[in-house]
A and B are shown apart, each in its own frame.
Chain A
Amino acid sequence: MKAMTQRMTQRLHLTHPGHFVGGLILWSIWFVAAYGGLSVACAVVPPDAARGAFTPINASLLLMSLLTVVLIAALAWGCFREARLHRARRHFNAKLSAWLYLFSALAVVFVSTPMVGLPPCL
């Protein structure tokens, strides 16, 4: 497991500044998918309004959000880990990426919270 994690982090080059935008790009893709998916689902298969938030649309959106959070949080953890191993430029890059991943994960959680309580198509 440890060896696999190491291989993964090596392949991901977590000290590369490309990761500055990695979490935010994942957040953006999730955001577009959530908004676009909601709009399409409401146009194609609108659920009964009486069901409130307990609809397949909410469940699907929440599941997608959960997977996104797990992915971004894992990348944040990897970057924090990598930052400890380096100094100067690489440390700066990995640490900054880690915080940006963490923010992105929290942003997914925060923006998806209304999925728990609001009906999707009203």
Chain B
Amino acid sequence: MTTINREVTPQDPQDLHNDLHEVWGNPRGLKALTIVNHTTLGLRFMVTGVAFFLVGGILAMLIRTQIATPDQNFMTPEIYSQVTTMHGTVMMFLFAIPILEGLAIYMIPKMIGARDLVCPRLTALGYWCYLFGGIILCFSMVLEMAPDSGWFMYTPLSSSEYSPGLGSDFWLLGITFVEISALSAGVELIVSILRTRTEGMALHKMPIFAWYILAMALMIVVGFPPLILGSILLELERAVGMPFFDVAGGGDPLLWQHLFWLFGHPEVYIIFLPAAGVVSTLIPVFAGRPLVGYGWVVFAVAVMGFISFGLWVHHMFTVGIPQLAQAFFSAASMLVAIPTAIQIFVWLATLWLGKPRFQLPMLWIVGFLVIFVCGGLTGVMLALVPFNWQVHDTHFVVAHMHYVLVGGMLFPLMAGIYYWLPLFSGRMPSETIGKWGFWLVFVGFNATFLIMHWTGLLGMPRRVYTYDTGFGWDIFNLLSSIGSFVMSAGFAMVIIDIALHFRYGKPAKHNPWKADTLEWANSMPPSAYNFVSLPAIETRHPLWDNPDLPRTMREGKHGLPTISNGRREMWGTDPLTGKLREIIHLPGNSWWPLFAALALAVVCISLLLRWYPVAGVGVVIAFGFILRWSWENGAHPAAAPDARVKAGDPPLHSRTMDGPGLWAMTTAMIANGSFFLSYLFGWFYLWTVSPEWRMPDESPLSLVGLCVAGVAAILGAGLLEKAIRGLREKNDKGLAANLYGAALLGAVQFGLVLWVLLNANLAVTQTTHDAVIMVGLAYALLHSGLGAVMALLQGMRVGYRFVGAHAPFEPLVVTYFWRYSVLVFWMLVGALAILPRVIGS
């Protein structure tokens, strides 16, 4: 017995569908832009990702054409630099991460038995930011102004002195815009996995794919902020002249490398983990048995998630770091082979003990195993410092990277797309065309990149637009170029196969691969609400243990089968045990995410064109849209004004003190904390290492002013805590006064920090010291201002009766933000104003 029937009365599935569709259904025409549903947005992410993949692929073919033979002048050096930079940038930032996010956004709710992700409007905002950011970035190519400093934008090459055009600005602003999307997806995937699994799905019963996505999302939340900080600093240097990376002013170009690779190395695993999750999902299905060593895979995922953050310096072995420090990173780099090997042995053991069926998705899995193991072995070679020095900046590194990324991400992704294709469309792909596509890609890939290892070992450096004949590179480059065109032909076949299958593919049987996970309990293609009723789960393999489950779910025999009060509802469960805790009500379709993203796009373009007043107006408008969006929550008429639920069902989340918004705020603050710690790292790094760093004899910051501001923040947080204590006791007396009081104290803090800043007379374009302080105080201003506005809005909501003892949830979310703000403010005071006074210059 794997399910518990909550509602035993069979109901007409068509009636149930009609009711649910009325609330969850997607609008058509222009209003389709308001859709927030995860199925639609997941598909949009993936389709957009494929479009950018085609752009990146064409750029790759241009590169291979240019270096196919020596002394080519098919492209000028300037254009070649732009093409290589954009190839890497598009593939990493606009294809690999977003398409995997799209897959996760599409699959996770279906796999964990939910009806949507927990923050649907955030999904929509993320998509629009991704689309607009990607278009802005790619438009630079049309203008022949594309970035040309390499996809990692090393300073000083990317600084205004050596890259005076707009290319670097396109990269910095466009990528930061796209990263809003990644962070949005990270936050909501974490909260959705932890808080919206169906009843009974305890942590140890989660589908293995959800573990991988949980790790990936946590890594995004921690890993992306260092790059966002680095991008902001470099853009400030380029636009305003703040010398963060300029040695003469007291900066250090190596700070960029640290910040970039603090993001960049984990990013490899951010890309690999979901792809490995696909492998761990598919192999048991095609082997016809459970995954051998589920616990070991979770172990490996956790280890990878952490260890991958300890490897960043292995990209910097040649910059002059002490041998002992290099040895730390070399050893850590070798350690990561252990979790990788565990997974590979788990996959092999599952195949060994099962009865594998080599259908189309499995071809791509086998291709993955072969290529990824080779890429992993060259990775261990590169972890060895002396070898790394020898092949640094050669085609060997390029070949290794492609073996890891294409083998480790693209092959499993293709396996996953073929596997879930019947779910997307209700039709099966063509095995014949699909196999042709696979073999062309497999042969073409190895012809390109296996041979590229040899070109690299013969000393060919990366990013040179041409080479003389006679180095022994000619034949290998020609073979690599031929291989790349064969690979492109393979991808063309795959795309044709997928495009044709929507019309000519055989209709798929239900659960065509005989899978075990809940997504196959959906209709094919899925409805907007996923499941008519939400089952209680007792095992990791619900469809194997109860093949009848999809039918009973369709007949509404499980939880939440009917619509009450026109709300979009699903279960909120305990993150550990999967016990029911509340009914989560989700917002419906909305224009606000699109409008907010459009306003942010205006900000991005204005910053590019140095139209700062327009950018300022854009920020205010975007902020206004987001505040309006936040207004339509909780007990607002557009959300859940009526809190009644059916007898026996848990309460609505907005009527409790522990809804998913708290988890989303906590997760967002983890990302914020990562940004802040990266900033502190930069401050202490420059203070310690930068050769021309100038610490003034006397701190320019008023310690008294900052301390009074800090006390105001503590008092404001105290008022909020008092309000929360009252709400926990169902008492909202004085709630509005406490919230308005906190808002006032937040405003006092803001005013005092501004006063300290204005009186510090910082020479932000002269010394890095002052520039770093400026950024720190701006961060404090942002948080104090935001805290004040959030408390003020809550006070107003009390007046409208959207918040109170009957709906106590939102002030607690704001309190979490204040707790964080107070903590980081005092850390900032300690680092910027107290420590320099204690230690001196």
A-B contact count (CB 8 A): 91
Contacts of B328 in A (CB 8 A): 31, 34-35, 38, 111, 114
The answer to whether B577 touches A31 (Cβ under 8 A) is no
Contact of A103 among B303, B323, B324 (CB under 8 A): B303
B576 contacts the other chain (CB 8 A) = yes
B515 contacts the other chain (CB 8 A) = no
Given contacts A24-B303, A100-B299, contact A89 B576 (CB under 8 A): yes
Specify the chain B residue showing the minimal Cβ separation from A46: B322
A74 contacts the other chain (CB 8 A) = no
Q: Bound complex: CA of A28 vs CA of B332, how far in Å?
A: 11
The answer to whether B331 touches A114 (Cβ under 8 A) is yes
The answer to whether A95 touches B324 (Cβ under 8 A) is no
Contacts of B334 in A (CB 8 A): 110
The answer to whether A28 touches B202 (Cβ under 8 A) is no
Q: Bound complex: CA of A9 vs CA of B299, how far in Å?
A: 22
The answer to whether A96 touches B306 (Cβ under 8 A) is no
The answer to whether A103 touches B295 (Cβ under 8 A) is no
With both chains docked as a complex, state the minimum distance between the C-beta of A115 and any C-beta of chain B, in angstroms.
7
With both chains docked as a complex, state the minimum distance between the C-beta of B136 and any C-beta of chain A, in angstroms.
35
With both chains docked as a complex, state the minimum distance between the C-beta of B556 and any C-beta of chain A, in angstroms.
29
List CB contacts (< 8 Å) of A35-81 with chain B.
35-36, 38-40, 42-44, 58
Q: Bound complex: CA of A78 vs CA of B132, how far in Å?
A: 51
Given contacts A31-B310, A39-B688, A111-B328, contact A92 B338 (CB under 8 A): no
B31 contacts the other chain (CB 8 A) = no
B824 contacts the other chain (CB 8 A) = no
B23 contacts the other chain (CB 8 A) = no
With both chains docked as a complex, state the minimum distance between the C-beta of A114 and any C-beta of chain B, in angstroms.
4
List CB contacts (< 8 Å) of A92-122 with chain B.
92-93, 95-96, 99-100, 103, 107, 110-111, 113-115, 118-122
B419 contacts the other chain (CB 8 A) = no
B335 contacts the other chain (CB 8 A) = yes
Contact of B576 among A17, A40, A114, A118 (CB under 8 A): A17
Interface residues of chain B: helix, strand, loop or mixed (majority)? helix
Specify the chain A residue showing the minimal Cβ separation from B688: A43
Contacts of B33 in A (CB 8 A): none
Interface residues of chain A: helix, strand, loop or mixed (majority)? helix
B626 contacts the other chain (CB 8 A) = no
Specify the chain A residue showing the minimal Cβ separation from B577: A89
B380 contacts the other chain (CB 8 A) = no
The answer to whether A20 touches B331 (Cβ under 8 A) is no
The answer to whether B332 touches A31 (Cβ under 8 A) is yes
B203 contacts the other chain (CB 8 A) = yes
Q: Bound complex: CA of A113 vs CA of B299, how far in Å?
A: 24
With both chains docked as a complex, state the minimum distance between the C-beta of A59 and any C-beta of chain B, in angstroms.
13
Contact of A114 among B299, B310, B327 (CB under 8 A): B327
A8 contacts the other chain (CB 8 A) = no
B364 contacts the other chain (CB 8 A) = no
With both chains docked as a complex, state the minimum distance between the C-beta of A116 and any C-beta of chain B, in angstroms.
10
The answer to whether A120 touches B324 (Cβ under 8 A) is yes
The answer to whether B306 touches A115 (Cβ under 8 A) is no
The answer to whether B299 touches A28 (Cβ under 8 A) is no
Contacts of A95 in B (CB 8 A): 295
Q: Bound complex: CA of A20 vs CA of B301, how far in Å?
A: 11
Contacts of B338 in A (CB 8 A): 103
Contacts of A103 in B (CB 8 A): 299, 303, 338
Contacts of A43 in B (CB 8 A): 688-689
Given contacts A28-B306, A103-B338, contact A17 B203 (CB under 8 A): yes
Contacts of A28 in B (CB 8 A): 306, 309-310
Q: Bound complex: CA of A95 vs CA of B303, how far in Å?
A: 15
The answer to whether A38 touches B327 (Cβ under 8 A) is no
Given contacts A89-B576, A107-B335, contact A100 B322 (CB under 8 A): no
The answer to whether B302 touches A118 (Cβ under 8 A) is no
The answer to whether A110 touches B576 (Cβ under 8 A) is no
B610 contacts the other chain (CB 8 A) = no
With both chains docked as a complex, state the minimum distance between the C-beta of B517 and any C-beta of chain A, in angstroms.
19
Specify the chain A residue showing the minimal Cβ separation from B298: A96
Specify the chain A residue showing the minimal Cβ separation from B334: A110
B728 contacts the other chain (CB 8 A) = no
Which of B203, B310, B324, B331 has the most chain A CB atoms inside 10 A of its CB? Answer: B324
With both chains docked as a complex, state the minimum distance between the C-beta of A110 and any C-beta of chain B, in angstroms.
6
A12 contacts the other chain (CB 8 A) = no
B325 contacts the other chain (CB 8 A) = yes
| Nearest 7 A/B pairs, CB to CB | A114-B327, A24-B306, A92-B204, A111-B331, A118-B324, A31-B310, A120-B324
23 contacts between A and B (CB under 8 A): A21-B302, A24-B303, A24-B305, A27-B306, A27-B310, A28-B306, A28-B310, A35-B313, A35-B325, A38-B322, A38-B328, A39-B688, A43-B689, A88-B204, A89-B204, A89-B577, A92-B295, A96-B302, A100-B302, A110-B331, A111-B328, A115-B324, A119-B323
Measured CB to CB, the residues of A under 8 A from B are 16-17, 20-21, 24-25, 27-28, 31, 34-36, 38-40, 42-44, 58, 88-89, 92-93, 95-96, 99-100, 103, 107, 110-111, 113-115, 118-122
Measured CB to CB, the residues of B under 8 A from A are 202-204, 295, 298-299, 302-303, 305-307, 309-310, 313, 322-325, 327-328, 331-332, 334-335, 338, 576-577, 684, 688-689
